[in-house]
């Protein structure tokens, strides 16, 4: 069975989606809160996200072979429902803008990643307002 990684076109597609995601985070004021949490230089995290997505989609697993857990990694950041929505929105747009993707697969990927983003919420609205 071809993996989602194979079906979407492998490395070039994964890199394009990861870069488009961080372009959106850097350019669209709707994602200012998310951008503010990231380092000034986005180059390392562009690479990190691409390697994560490659392994997650059934491609090379070098990101996971480093023994990292994406959920634990994010416990260090104050993630509110609003930030999770920003992340999910930007990822949905980054995937939707990729030419030639099977719409059903694109939708399933955005859904699953959005679900993961909401699973990272560790700060309620009240706590973030306090």
- Which residues are near ligand HEM by CB under 6 A? 34, 37-39, 45, 48-49, 52, 70, 73-74, 77, 79, 83-84, 87, 113, 116-117, 120
Task: Show contacts of 97-103: CB within 8 Å, 24+ apart.
Answer: 97/20, 98/8, 98/13, 98/16, 98/17, 98/20, 100/9, 101/8, 101/13, 102/7, 102/8
Q: By C-beta, is 96 or 120 nearer to ligand HEM?
A: 120
CB of 77 to ligand HEM, least distance (A): 5
CB of 68 to ligand HEM, least distance (A): 7
> Which burial class, exposed, middle or buried, applies to 58 when counting CB atoms under 10 A from its CB (0-12, 13-18, 19+)?
middle
Q: By C-beta, is 14 or 84 nearer to ligand HEM?
A: 84
CB of 30 to ligand HEM, least distance (A): 14
- Does the CA dihedral 32-38-39-43 come out positive or negative? negative
Q: By C-beta, is 43 or 130 nearer to ligand HEM?
A: 43
Q: By C-beta, is 36 or 130 nearer to ligand HEM?
A: 36
């Amino acid at each position: 069975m071809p993996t989602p990684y194979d079906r979407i076109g492998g490395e070039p597609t994964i890199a394009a989606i990861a870069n488009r995601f961080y372009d959106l985070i850097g350019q669209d004021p709707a994602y200012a809160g998310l951008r503010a949490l990231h380092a000034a230089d986005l180059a390392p995290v562009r690479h990190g996200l691409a390697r994560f997505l490659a392994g997650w989609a059934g491609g090379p697993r070098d990101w996971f072979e480093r023994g990292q857990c994406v959920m634990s990694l994010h416990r260090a950041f104050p993630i509110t429902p609003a930030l999770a929505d920003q992340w999910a929105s930007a990822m949905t747009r980054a995937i939707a803008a990729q030419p030639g993707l099977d719409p059903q697969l694109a939708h399933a990927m955005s859904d699953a990643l959005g679900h993961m983003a909401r699973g990272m919420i560790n700060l309620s609205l009240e706590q973030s307002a306090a």
